[in-house]
A and B are shown apart, each in its own frame.
Chain A
Amino acid sequence: MIKNYFRPKTIDELSELKLKTKGYLFSGGTDLFVKLRAGTIDTDTVIDTKYLNSRKIEITGNKLFIPINATYSELRMFIKQNNVNNMLENIVKTIGSPMIRNRGTPVGNISNASPAGDFVLASYLFNAQVIIEPTSRKLPVKNFIKGPGKIDLRENEFVYGIELEILNDYKFYFEKVGRRNAMIISIASLGLLLKEKDNKIKDIRIAFGSVAPYILRDENLEKSLIGETINEELFKHIAIEYQKLSSPITDVRATKEYRKSLVHNLVIKAYNNLFEKVVKE
Chain B
Amino acid sequence: MKINVTINNEKKELEIAPDDILLDVLRRYGYHSVRRGCDTGMCGICTVLLDGKPVPSCSIFAARVDGHEITTVEGLPEAKELAKILAEEGADQCGFCSPGLIVNTVYLKKLKIKKIEEVKIKLIGNLCRCTGYVGQHRAIEKFLGVEK
Knowing A37-B40, A99-B54, A103-B55, say if A5 contacts B125 (CB, 8 Å).
no
- 13 residue pairs of the A-B complex, CB under 8 angstroms, read A1-B19, A2-B19, A3-B19, A5-B63, A29-B61, A33-B59, A48-B64, A97-B125, A99-B41, A99-B54, A99-B104, A103-B60, A183-B42
Of A3, A7, A34, A103, the residue contacting B40 (CB under 8 A) is A34
- Do the beta carbons of B61 and A26 come within 8 Å of each other? yes
Residues of chain A at interface, number, CB under 8 A: 25
Instruction: Tell yes or no: A79 within 8 A of B by CB.
Output: no
Instruction: Tell yes or no: B39 within 8 A of A by CB.
Output: yes
Of B18, B39, B41, the residue contacting A100 (CB under 8 A) is B41
- Taken residue by residue from 43 to 57, chain B's Cβ proximity to chain A (1 for < 8 Å, 0 otherwise) reads as 010010010011110
C-alpha gap A97/B104 in the complex (Å) = 12
- Do the beta carbons of A4 and B18 come within 8 Å of each other? yes
Output the least CB separation between B104 and chain A (Å): 8
C-alpha gap A7/B63 in the complex (Å) = 9
C-alpha gap A48/B64 in the complex (Å) = 7
- Taken residue by residue from 76 to 107, chain A's Cβ proximity to chain B (1 for < 8 Å, 0 otherwise) reads as 00000000000000000000111110110000
Instruction: Tell yes or no: B124 within 8 A of A by CB.
Output: yes
- Do the beta carbons of B39 and A37 come within 8 Å of each other? yes
C-alpha gap A48/B58 in the complex (Å) = 16
Task: Determine the residue in chain B with the shortest Cβ distance to A29.
Answer: B59
User: Please, which residues of chain A bring their CB within 8 A of the CB of B124?
Assistant: 97-98, 182-183
- Do the beta carbons of A99 and B55 come within 8 Å of each other? yes
User: Within B115-148, which residues are at the interface with A (CB < 8 Å)?
Assistant: 121-122, 124-126
- Do the beta carbons of B47 and A99 come within 8 Å of each other? yes
Output the least CB separation between A120 and chain B (Å): 19
Instruction: Tell yes or no: B94 within 8 A of A by CB.
Output: no
Task: Determine the residue in chain B with the shortest Cβ distance to A34.
Answer: B40
- Do the beta carbons of A73 and B53 come within 8 Å of each other? yes
- Do the beta carbons of B56 and A100 come within 8 Å of each other? yes
- Do the beta carbons of A50 and B39 come within 8 Å of each other? no
- Do the beta carbons of B41 and A3 come within 8 Å of each other? no
Which residues from chain A sit less than 8 Å from chain B, CB to CB?
1-5, 7, 26, 29-30, 33-34, 37, 46, 48, 50, 73, 96-100, 102-103, 182-183
- Do the beta carbons of A48 and B61 come within 8 Å of each other? yes
C-alpha gap A109/B4 in the complex (Å) = 30
Task: Determine the residue in chain A with the shortest Cβ distance to B125.
Answer: A97
Given contacts A33-B41, A99-B44, 9 further A-B contacts (CB under 8 A): A2-B19, A5-B19, A5-B61, A29-B60, A33-B40, A97-B124, A98-B124, A99-B104, A100-B41
C-alpha gap A149/B148 in the complex (Å) = 47
C-alpha gap A98/B104 in the complex (Å) = 10
User: Please, which residues of chain A bring their CB within 8 A of the CB of B40?
Assistant: 33-34, 37
C-alpha gap A26/B59 in the complex (Å) = 10
Task: Determine the residue in chain A with the shortest Cβ distance to B62.
Answer: A5
User: Please, which residues of chain A bring their CB within 8 A of the CB of B41?
Assistant: 30, 33-34, 96, 99-100, 103
C-alpha gap A34/B40 in the complex (Å) = 6
Output the least CB separation between B99 and chain A (Å): 14
Knowing A3-B19, A4-B18, say if A102 contacts B61 (CB, 8 Å).
no
- Do the beta carbons of B63 and A100 come within 8 Å of each other? no
Task: Determine the residue in chain B with the shortest Cβ distance to A1.
Answer: B19
Of A1, A4, A34, A98, the residue contacting B125 (CB under 8 A) is A98
C-alpha gap A103/B48 in the complex (Å) = 12
Task: Determine the residue in chain A with the shortest Cβ distance to B47.
Answer: A99
- Do the beta carbons of A46 and B61 come within 8 Å of each other? yes
Knowing A2-B19, A5-B1, A5-B18, say if A33 contacts B58 (CB, 8 Å).
yes
User: Please, which residues of chain A bring their CB within 8 A of the CB of B18?
Assistant: 2-5, 46
Output the least CB separation between A73 and chain B (Å): 7
Task: Determine the residue in chain B with the shortest Cβ distance to A46.
Answer: B61
